[in-house]
Amino acid sequence: MPKIKNIANDYSVPILLISLLFLIKALYLSFCVTPFAAVPDEIGHFAYTQDIAYGKGIPVLSPPSTGKSVISADVMGYVEKTTDSQPAYNWIAQHPPVYYIIAAIPLKIGSLITDDPDILYRLPRIVSALSGALLLLVLFRTFRVIGLDSSRSTAIAAAIGFIPMVSHLSSGTNHDMSLFLFCALATHFFAKYILSKEIKDAYQCAIWLAIASGTKMMTPLVLLVPMVFILILELPRQYRIKHAIWILLIAMSIPMAWMVRNFIYFGSFFYTSGTDRKPALEIALKQSFADYIKSQPVFESTEHLFYGMFGHMAANPNRVFLEYDVLPRHLRFIGVTVGGVPYDVFSTLLFFVACACMVYISMLAWRSSKEKLKFPNSNSLISQANSHLIDCKYKLIPLAAIIFLACYAAIFVSLTSFNSYIFILFSSIPISIFLGIVALPLVFYVTDSTDRIALYGFAITLFFGSIFLYHIYGAYLEEGILRAAQGRYFYPVIPLVILSAAIVLVRLRISKFIIYTGIALLACAELSVYIEQAIPFYLQYY
């Protein structure tokens, strides 16, 4: 058990208070504001949690007719407001069980005390609220590791709690907030290892990556692969192979176990459907990627949905089909994406941070080109590559070529995707593409570990974003509509993105007052979203 004195040493009073206030906000939203089923896929997540809490075990993803992964009749009846509702297919059973085992604890305890569904159905939300509050503390500790002072660390950690989608998800039963927390912990130990080179940190990073991959299918794996690869690059020569194997085994342990289970049950490692549903289009589209990002609002939708989306799913005389369901339901779906001034404030702040990152990476590239040979500070693969490159006569040529390529890619995305007005608002996306491409070779030129963490952040974000884009592009060709452009899918990589941004703020010596003003604007924007958009929306329909 951590002692109170240790907590007081590790965390400042303001971050403890801000985290506590976030917890109060998330719990208040959970029990008094956010209606049941308003958070994405909440009925599915709750049904999975219910299966574990009530001893039914881990559901096996299967066609609706077999009834092995179902949303129970009582949950459907609660949403449809009828007593004769039928169970529904639970598509959420595709995910591994780590989050659901944790979320089952408050539900199990609650079920021993009350049988009121208005309380019981909201109890697993406590886990999301706690995850959100702990996330702020973990981010704070991570910023302290890279040398950011306590005040700035508090402000930047608090910022994440003022994104409406984060507070919204913290008030619902879903695995996204716990995944966010686990990935933040992995990022914390990742940064700690690169700075201190204590091998136990690399192992702790691997453990949290494994836990994150045991929380959700797919997206944590896209973080796990590059993070483990970098850890191996950073390992010292002594026992390198032994540590590399162990780190890989630990990180892959839970996802491998889940994949083996999938193979045993379904004959496929990455089984996520549970039905033999065919794509919407009989003949897949033959559209180039350039035409795709030109014709579809891919980047705008993703950024918009990252900032905020509120849903509504409630009883209605109309009959609709739930995902892959066999029966029509008396339900209605309405989703509103947060818009207006709050979103513009968020986009503008994001743009300024992206610009600061661009200034930083340009300075870093310039400095690296001038850097003279030094003794490598460790005998890791990256340090060896670094010492060879610094001494190389033609070291500037590949770097200049990559910067040219990065400029081309960023300009191509800007010109292809955005018209004149939107170009300004979404330029943080082309800038992040530029940052990712330049960071890839630059990590081999930079000797400072803190700078290398920032570069790893940019590079991993590019890798993550590319996989995400490839996935939704494939889905578009098969379905004919833009699907799965959910900003929350980026949560695994966000702690690393914020860490990179924090390093930029340290290096550019951005004033505390500017950071505080930005955070205050974010907080007011979030408040405005709830008061003017979310609460009236909920009360209008529920």
Partner 1 sequence: MKSLNSFFPLFLWVICFLVFILIFPIGSYSNKIERAALSPSQALEQIPAGELVAGFRLEQPIDWNLIKRVKLNESDTLCIDILLANYGDRNNTGTFSASLQAKYFSQKILLHANQIRDNTYHHFCYDSLPLRNITDRPVTFVLEGIDSPPGQAITAWMTSDTTRGKARLNNQELDKSLIFSIDIVTESNKKRIQAIVLTLLCGLSISILFWPAKLKSQ
| Position 524 contacts partner 1 (CB under 8 A) | yes
- Regarding 519 and contact with partner 1 (CB under 8 A), the answer is yes
Output the smallest distance, CB 120 to partner 1, in A: 21
- Minimum distance of partner 1 from residue 512's CB (angstroms): 9
CB of 81 to partner 1, least distance (A): 11
Task: Verify binding: residue 290, partner 1, rule CB under 8 A.
Answer: no
Counting contacts by CB under 8 A, is residue 33 touching partner 1? yes
Considering the rule CB under 8 A, would residue 535 count as an interface residue with partner 1?
yes
Beta bridge partners of 171: none
Q: CA-CA distances (angstroms) from residue 132 to 44, 161, 171, 491?
A: 21, 8, 9, 12
Choice between 227 and 519, CB closer to partner 1: 519
Contacts of 200 (CB under 8 A, 6+ apart): none
Which amino acid, one-letter code, is at 46?
Answer: F
118 beta partners: none
Binding of partner 1 at residue 478 (CB under 8 A)? no
CA atoms within 13 A on the CB side of 109: 9
Element (H, E) at 422: helix 420-425
Nearest Cα residue to 469 out of 459, 457, 480, 461? 461
Among 123, 135, 158, 485, binds partner 1 (CB under 8 A): 158
When the beta carbons of 33 and 327 are compared against partner 1, the nearer one is 33
Token pair of 204 as six digits: 């702790």
Confirm or reject binding of residue 514 to partner 1 (CB under 8 A). no
Q: Which of 123, 155, 169, 230 binds partner 1 (CB under 8 A)?
A: 155
The residues near 220 (Cβ < 8 Å, ≥ 6 apart) are 179, 182, 183, 209, 212, 213, 255, 492
Q: Is 154 in the site for partner 1 (CB under 8 A)?
A: yes
32 binds partner 1 (CB under 8 A): yes
Q: Does 516 bind partner 1 (CB under 8 A)?
A: yes
Contact indicator for 184, 139 with CB cutoff of 8 Å: yes
Residue 345 contacts residue 521 (beta carbons within 8 Å): yes
For tokens 């850890």, the residue is 231
If the CB atoms of residues 19 and 432 are measured against partner 1, the closer one turns out to be 19
Please report how close the Cβ of residue 300 comes to partner 1 at its closest, in angstroms. Answer: 25
Smallest distance from partner 1 to CB 536, Å? 6
Stretch that binds partner 1, among 156-164, 191-199, 239-247, 427-435 (CB under 8 A): 156-164
Q: Which whole-number Å values give the CA distances from 111 to 118, 187, 323, in the listed order?
A: 12, 36, 28
Task: Give yes or no for residue 135 binding partner 1 (CB under 8 A).
Answer: no
Using CB under 8 A, which residues numbered 211 to 240 contact partner 1? Answer: none
Note whether 82 binds partner 1 by CB under 8 A: no
Whether residue 526 contacts residue 342, with contact meaning beta carbons closer than 8 Å, is answered with yes
Selected binder of partner 1 within 43, 161, 248, 379 (CB under 8 A):
161
* Residue 510 in the binding site for partner 1 (CB under 8 A): no
Q: What b/e string do you get for 212-223 counting C-beta neighbours within 10 Å, with b at 16 or more?
A: bbbbbbbbbbbb
Residues in touch with partner 1 (CB under 8 A): 12-14, 17-18, 21-22, 24-25, 28, 32-33, 151, 154-155, 158, 161-162, 513, 516, 519-520, 523-524, 526-528, 530-532, 535-536, 539-540
